[in-house]
Amino acid sequence: MVNPQDASPSPLTTARQLAGAWWSRAAVAALGLAALAGCDSGKQRDIFGAQGPSAEISAWMYNYIFWMMVVIFVIVAAIFTYAVFRFREKENDDGAMPKQTHGNLKAEIAWTIVPTFIVIGIMVPTVTSIDKLMDINHMAGLAEGEFVDPNQVVYVEVIGKQWWWEYDYRAFNGLKDPEAGTTDPANWTHEHMFSTANELHVPAGVPVYLNITSADVIHAFWVPRLFGKRDATPGRQYPLYFMAREPGVYYGQCAELCGESHALMAIKVFVHPTEGPDSYDKWVESQKQPAAAPVGALAEQGKELFISKGCIACHSVRGDERTEINYASRSRTTGPDLTHVGSRTTIAAITMPNTKENLTHWIWKPGEVKGNAIMAQERYNPTKVTEEEAAAIASYLIRLK
């Protein structure tokens, strides 16, 4: 007699329960994926929405290898399925060991040669693609033997810092022959260099040369629709060439875990038309200007606080000796250049829209916005401002268009 208490559940029930669990898990996963897909509604960080030669080469490589793998998968799965059915245990099977074979020369040769060709089939386009990515003439869409005019290349130095990006437009009009005479920092003035943060501006249809480095740890610069990842490594300079075809706004992200606020280290690229009121040249002209003088009592007070509260230890505002960057020693570059901070659409590496309220919040309590940011750390920034002082400084900074 079996005690019902001891009876093990029937295998069928267990399988049903498992199936139930499996289905509910799949449903949760599907919902999660749908939610994630919703995040990217504008396809803003989508490698398949390539916009320009650099990202197109990467997307092409991805598709090429993907379809190659699909073909290999289908062949292997077909052979496997055939073998499973063809050689399964038959009803009248005598249970004896099948015939064992060893060392089939034809099979050995086949499975050495086929993978060799697969590897060559991946290697050749990979090497040619890397070669194209590292060739600014190719980025500019030129034929073999044609070369871009170095003065028509936009050259920007990109410096990764915890947790934001500095862009130095060390150039005449932001256009520069990197070999031409302004590389000596002692010769730099704001005529030769302006600096922005996080929001990169480039013209459409013009090749761009980014020289990428880091001031602290390893970061990686990545704007999926425009180009693949490039490491930003301290003490090294890595070139990255790209060209954006269409004017527009493109988003990116630091792609190398670089510490606590790595996730709050985003990138926004504005691609300007080459002509018209919104042209790249107009943007460059406005950025080259020194900062506007404060207007109104509150903004004036804000500027004085900006100096007396020690903000100038890390930030520069060009156009006044008391706040201006020293180009030779590169002092006042720990934090973003704020000469035209009011012209940015966001602050703190795309973390918040650039409004007076958000600026006040950031200046008053940066640690609430970005954990462990240098500006929030007591040991680097011992001077605390009150909410009123922060509001005064914000009303000064927001007008620096």
The residues binding Cu ion (CB under 5 A) are: 219, 254, 258, 265
Distance between CA atoms of 213 and 143, rounded to whole angstroms?
30
**Which partner, ligand HEC, Cu ion, none, binds residue 347 by CB below 5 to 8 Å per kind?**
ligand HEC
Q: How far is CA 269 from the centre of its chain?
A: 10
Q: Which residue number, 177 or 216, has a Cβ lying nearer to Cu ion?
A: 216
Q: Output the six-digit token pair for 289.
A: 């200007």
- Could you tell me which residues come within 8 angstroms of residue 139 by beta carbon, excluding any fewer than 6 positions away? 52, 53, 54, 133, 207, 241, 242, 243
**Which partner, ligand HEC, Cu ion, none, binds residue 208 by CB below 5 to 8 Å per kind?**
none
Q: Which residue number, 129 or 334, has a Cβ lying nearer to ligand HEC?
A: 334
Q: Output the six-digit token pair for 261.
A: 């606020």
Of 208, 156, 173, 207, nearest in space to 281 by CA = 173
Q: Which residues of the chain form contacts with ligand HEC (CB under 6 A)? A: 163-164, 197-198, 306, 309-311, 313-315, 334-336, 338, 341, 344, 347-349, 359, 362-363, 370, 373-375, 380-381, 385, 393, 397
**Which partner, Cu ion, ligand HEC, none, binds residue 164 by CB below 5 to 8 Å per kind?**
ligand HEC
CB of 242 to Cu ion, least distance (A): 19
Distance between CA atoms of 59 and 46, rounded to whole angstroms?
10
Distance between CA atoms of 51 and 82, rounded to whole angstroms?
44
Cβ burial of 29 (10 Å; 0-12, 13-18, 19+) is exposed
Of 312, 283, 282, nearest in space to 199 by CA = 283
CB of 269 to Cu ion, least distance (A): 16
Distance between CA atoms of 218 and 222, rounded to whole angstroms?
13
Q: Which residue number, 167 or 327, has a Cβ lying nearer to Cu ion?
A: 167
CB of 358 to ligand HEC, least distance (A): 9
**Which partner, Cu ion, ligand HEC, none, binds residue 254 by CB below 5 to 8 Å per kind?**
Cu ion
CB of 374 to ligand HEC, least distance (A): 4
**Which partner, Cu ion, ligand HEC, none, binds residue 53 by CB below 5 to 8 Å per kind?**
none
Q: Which residue number, 61 or 265, has a Cβ lying nearer to Cu ion?
A: 265
**Which partner, Cu ion, ligand HEC, none, binds residue 315 by CB below 5 to 8 Å per kind?**
ligand HEC
